[in-house]
Chain A
Amino acid sequence: MNSYSELVKFEYRKILRKRSTIITLLLAVLLTVFSCLGPLMGNRYSNGEVLESNYDDMRKDRQYSRSLSGREINSKLLAETIEAYSHIPPTDGKYSDTEEYQQYARPYSEIYYSLRKVYATKNLEEIQLLSDEDIRNFYIIRQNVVEKNIEDTAMSPREKANSLNLSRDVKTPFIFSYTGGYTRLFSQMYTTALIICFVCSICIAPIFASEYTDHMDSLILSSKYGKNKVIYAKLFTGISLSVLLSTVFLVISYITAMIFFGWEGSSSPIQFYFPLSSVPYTMGQVALLYFLLILLGNILSTSLTMLFSAKLKSPFMVIVIMTVITILPMFVNISDDVLWIYHISRLIPVNMFYLTNITREFSIDLFGLILQPYELIFAFAVAASVVLMPFAYKNFKNHN
């Protein structure tokens, strides 16, 4: 154990002493913080004139939302919202630039967002046409839309039944809360996941390959632990570094989003972000599942990186291949008409990073076992990583 921990320590030193690692990490931290705070930079304009800075804009919205926090979303609040929006006069430009919007409607913008999604209204006029009964039946209508969405999918009856059951577990009525920190986090996390993926590729690509380029392979492979312990140490270092980097960058994203946008809202339903989502989870639960999804996706990506590193003998080639594997699927849009292809496409590391793997209405019947897409991804990421590692091990051990 002592020699094993020494070997792991040296593997970490080899990685962390590289200038490329330090530069990559610094750039990645800056990029993560910048991508979190991007929406706060610059100003909001109306007719070419500065109305306010984006930061002030966010603060004002946050203040309005906080003033509604704790209120149940019921017919009274919905009616208030519709009434507030009725003040907005017809305009050729953006209605949000009108004084009436700023004065009456803006405090209700978050409620309006849910209304618009549930009633599928296209404009302000359609909102005004909603009847009292429509407003009273907000949750019933929402559930009907959710169930119709489930029925319209290509899922099997068993899968649909599971998704319907899940959707009926969504607790109503919703108690409104400001969730700006979480919604910012969710919209930014994909970028963070990609950053982590690239950082891991760059840092871990040399783990085996640089032994070949540094001509250290002969010395290692002829040493006592060169064909066993040191390979285990390298695999452990790769996976643990991936976990460490994923955690650090996810925590940076989380803390940055929460500090600037607000900490509250973890127990609010995810339906404040996706009003028609069928899953009965809170913002906090979704955030946790999303963290796990990104973490496991990156572990799988790291396992692939280590396999290529052991096989290809050049860190640069490993980085190139991992970049292609990461970027290429982003340009391929796979429809959910043929669900099994869609679900398989979601098992590619970069596609694992979509929040919709948690929030969409799909269930998967896998040989009689009903799973949520994210559960399948979790299981696949772990299993594939476990399967890939012996190949990396053998490739290095049998390197001639």
Chain B
Amino acid sequence: MELIIDRLTKHYNNKIVADRISLTLREGVYGLLGANGSGKTTLMRMICGILKPTSGVVKFNGIDVSEEEYRDSLGYLPQDFGYYPEFSAYDFLLYMASLKGLTKVRAKDKANELLELVGLSDVAKKKIKTFSGGMKQRLGIAQSMLNNPKILILDEPTGGLDPKERIRFRNLISRLGKDKIVLLSTHIVSDVEYIASTILLMKDGQIIHQGSLEDILSPIDGKVFECFVDSHKAADLIAAYPIINIREESDKTYLRLVSDKSPCETAVVVPAQLEDLYLYYFNEGENKGE
């Protein structure tokens, strides 16, 4: 099972939103991290065949993205997940099942099973327009799994879920990754940190880093410092280094920052986390640099 993305490029007029992206994805959970406008959604839409690339190819086991057989292997939860307000959750899943080519009997079974899985069984017959944001999101997750897809593309799937639902969903994705290619994008770094076997870091339409959590953290390993300083020193450090975290305490300021060498006498090296890396890369414009 192999999803090959080869030199995938998308231009809008003169703007490049995806720039010669090449990836080979196999079974596992891939976490796509990037700031707003980095091209995550564009990449996912091209992988789903919704957006036509300017150039490049997407193939799953040799099947081109434009083919019906490819879409038959695909499950997708878009960022701006839509629904029919007058449909009940159950009807909506039956409709999506018919779009995915499930037989009527199979569709009913699968709809019931997934409603149970995402905790919407009690409200299966209620109109979607009465649902909260989290319930709609859970319904979206359910529809993406109707056809038991081999490729699961989830664009911001945990947005709108409360912490309990998020953890439940995270565990579910983790299990799915055993026999599927799961590509998920999120702003919630901890979600990726917990479940992604491979992390893809996207910036300005390019994949700038990819690998396991350890691999990806290596560029900042030993470069993350924590320190308590007075307000004057804090102002100097904020101006000079990429700041990960600031916390004002009674007489001192707590700072977590990235630096090649110790930024001050009181600074201590701490283990790097994905959030450090994320903020290091994506706060570049706001921080002054190392």
> Which of chain A's residues has its CB closest to B70's CB?
A224
A226: chain B residues at CB < 8 Å are 71, 99
B48 touches A224 (CB 8 A): no
Stretch at the interface among A2-10, A31-39, A124-132, A334-342: A2-10
Distance from B125 Cβ to chain A, minimum over Cβ atoms (Å): 14
Could you tell me if A222 and B71 are in contact, using CB atoms closer than 8 angstroms?
yes
- Contact A224:B147 (CB < 8 A) given known A3-B98, A3-B101, A14-B84: yes
1/0 contact trace for A207-222 toward B, CB 8 Å?
0000100111111111
Residues of A within 8 A of B96 (CB): 219, 223
Q: A215: which of B74, B82, B95, B103 is its contact (CB, 8 Å)? A: B82
Contact residues of A between 43 and 102, Cβ < 8 Å to B = none
Binds A, one of B49-57, B158-166, B210-218: B49-57
Whether B68 lies near A228 (C-beta < 8 A) is yes
Whole-angstrom CA separation of A87 from B96 in the bound complex = 77
Q: What's the nearest-Cβ distance from chain B to residue A270, in Å?
A: 47
Chain A 17-48 interface mask (CB, 8 Å, partner B; 1/0): 11000000000000000000000000000000
Whole-angstrom CA separation of A10 from B95 in the bound complex: 7
**B98, A221: Cβ atoms closer than 8 Å:** no
Q: B49, B84, B86, B94: which contacts A222 (Cβ < 8 A)?
A: B49
Report Cα–Cα, A17/B45, bound state, in Å. 30
- Which one of A6, A211, A219 lies within 8 Å of B81 (CB-CB)? A219
**Which of chain A's residues have a CB closer than 8 A to the CB of B80?**
215, 218
Assess whether B222 is interfacial by the CB under 8 Å rule: no
Pair B68/A224 contact, Cβ less than 8 Å: yes
- Contact A2 to B103, CB < 8 A, known contacts A219-B76, A224-B68, A400-B51: yes
Interface residue count on the B side (C-beta < 8 Å): 32
Known: A2-B103, A2-B104, A17-B86. A218 touches B98 (CB 8 A): no
214-248 of chain A: CB within 8 A of chain B = 214-228, 230
Bound form: Cα–Cα A226–B98 in Å: 10
Question: Nearest chain B CB to A234's CB is how many angstroms away?
Answer: 12
Q: How far is the CB of A70 from chain B (nearest CB, A)?
A: 57
Give Cα distance in the complex from A10 to B76, angstroms. 20
Q: How many Å from the CB of B141 to the closest CB on chain A?
A: 12
Contacts of A230 in B (CB 8 A): 99
| Interchain CB contact under 8 A, B100 and A224 | yes
Secondary structure of the B side of the interface?
loop
Chain A residues with Cβ under 8 A from B290's Cβ?
A: none
A398 part of interface (Cβ distance < 8 Å): yes
Please state if B81 and A215 are interface contacts (CB–CB under 8 Å): yes
Task: Please name all residues of chain B whose beta carbon is closer than 8 Å to the beta carbon of A7 when the two chains form the complex.
Answer: 98-99
Docked Cα-Cα span, A3 to B143, in Å, equals 17
B78 at the interface (CB under 8 A from A): yes
Nearest-neighbor residue (CB-CB) of B82 within chain A = A215
Chain A positions within 8 Å of B, measured between CB atoms, are 2-3, 6-7, 10, 13-14, 17-18, 211, 214-228, 230, 398, 400
B interface residues (Cβ-Cβ under 8 A, vs A)? 45, 48-52, 68, 71-72, 74, 76, 78, 80-87, 91, 94-96, 98-101, 103-104, 143, 147
Instruction: List 19 extra interface pairs beyond A3-B101, A215-B80, CB under 8 A.
Output: A3-B103, A10-B95, A14-B84, A17-B84, A17-B86, A211-B82, A214-B82, A214-B85, A218-B48, A218-B50, A218-B78, A219-B76, A219-B99, A221-B48, A223-B71, A224-B101, A225-B68, A400-B50, A400-B51
